[in-house]
Amino acid sequence: MKIVKIIVFILLISVIPVHLSAQREPSAKEILSRVSEKYQKLNGFRAVFEYTYATEAEGPVQSNVGEVTVKGDKYKLVLDDQEIYNDGKTVWTLIKSNRYQEVTINNVDDETEELTPSNIYNIYKKGYEAELLGEGTLNGTPVYEILLTTNKRSSQFKQIKLFIDKSKNDLLAWEISDDMGGTFKYTFKELKNDVEIMDDYFVFNKKNYQNIEIIDLR
C-alpha cells in the first residue's frame, strides 16, 4: 500500500509543474488577440519603418525606409517611389517618378486577403494557423515569435512571421516569404501610439498635384 502511495505521489509531482508551466505560457492566438485589441482601441498610430528584401543566394538585395499612419481601417503609406491612401472605402496609389506622376483609384475590396498596414494585426483571423515558435530578442527587446501559415490556394502569402513585444503587446516587425525564395522584412524604427489624425489625411487630394494622370478603375 505504501508503495502505491509513493508511486501516486511521484506521478503528481511530475504532472503538476508541467500543468502550471502550460498555464503560464500563453498561446499564439492569445498573444495576437491582445495585440489586436490594443490597436483597435487606439485613436491612431504613426510609425517610421525599415523594409528589406533578401534572398538566400544573394543576401540583402534592397533596403529602404518608409512611413505609415493608421487609424482603424484607414491608412496612409509613404515610400520612396509611391504613396498609398486608403480611407476605408477608396484606395489611391500614387506613383512618383522624375518623369511623370500618376494615381490609380480603386474601391477597397473587403473580401481580399491582401496584407495591408491596417489589417496586419487581424490577418491571423482570416484562415491562418498561428503557432508560437518561442521567445527571442529583437534589437534588445524580448519578443514572442509567431508563425502564421495557410494552405488556402487563394492566399497571397503562405507564411508570415510576427515579432511581438512581450511586455507591451506591440508588433515590432514581421517577415513575409515569397515564392522565389526571398524574404521581405518590415521593422518599426519609430512608433507613436494613440495620435490624433483627421480623416481627410487618408484621402488623396489631386489639387496638390498639377498635370497628374488619373486612372480611375472604380
Please report whether residue 106 resides in a domain: yes
pLDDT (0 to 100) of residue 12: 35
Percentages helix, strand, coil for the chain (3-state, rounded to 5) are 20, 45, 35
Task: State the pLDDT confidence band at 111, using cuts at 50, 70 and 90.
Answer: low
Which grid cell sits at 117? 498596414
Is 6 a residue whose pLDDT tops 50?
Answer: no
For β-strands 213-216 and 101-107, DSSP reports them as parallel
Is 177 a residue whose pLDDT tops 70?
Answer: yes
Range of the domain at 161: 26-216
Top mean-pLDDT range of 38-42, 156-160, 164-168: 164-168
Task: State the pLDDT confidence band at 114, using cuts at 50, 70 and 90.
Answer: low
Please tell me the total count of domains within the chain: 1
For β-strands 101-107 and 90-96, DSSP reports them as antiparallel
Please report whether residue 19 resides in a domain: no
Q: Is 38 helix (H, G, I), strand (E, B) or coil?
A: helix
pLDDT (0 to 100) of residue 126: 74
Beta bridge partners of 64: 51
pLDDT (0 to 100) of residue 156: 66
Please report whether residue 13 resides in a domain: no
Please report whether residue 7 resides in a domain: no
CATH number reported for the structural domain that contains residue 157 in this entry: 2.50.20.10
Please report whether residue 10 resides in a domain: no
Please report whether residue 104 resides in a domain: yes
Cα gap 37→136, rounded to integer Å: 23
Cα gap 26→62, rounded to integer Å: 35
Report, in angstroms and rounded to the nearest whole number, the Rg of the chain calculated over CA atoms. 22
Amino acid (1-letter code) at residue 94: L
Instruction: Estimate to the nearest angstrom the gap between the alpha carbon of 163 and the chain centroid.
Output: 9
Instruction: Report the mean per-residue pLDDT for the chain.
Output: 81
Phi-psi bin for 118: left (phi > 0), alpha (psi -120 to 50), beta?
Answer: alpha
Task: State the pLDDT confidence band at 165, using cuts at 50, 70 and 90.
Answer: very high
pLDDT (0 to 100) of residue 61: 77
Q: Are 163 and 138 in contact (CB under 8 A)?
A: yes
Q: 2 or 38: whose pLDDT is higher? A: 38
Is 2 a residue whose pLDDT tops 50?
Answer: no
Q: 79 or 8: whose pLDDT is higher? A: 79
Q: Is 207 helix (H, G, I), strand (E, B) or coil?
A: helix
Report the sign of the C-alpha dihedral through residues 164, 73, 117, 152, in that order: positive
Q: Are 41 and 34 in contact (CB under 8 A)?
A: no
- Each residue of 79-98: b (16+ CB within 10 Å) or e? eeeebbbbbeeebbbbeeee
Mean per-residue pLDDT, 42-52 = 89
Cα atoms in the Cβ-side hemisphere of radius 13 Å centred on 50: 7
Please report whether residue 210 resides in a domain: yes
Burial class (CB in 10 A: 0-12, 13-18, 19+), 131: middle
Please report whether residue 11 resides in a domain: no
Mean per-residue pLDDT, 37-41 = 83
pLDDT (0 to 100) of residue 41: 83
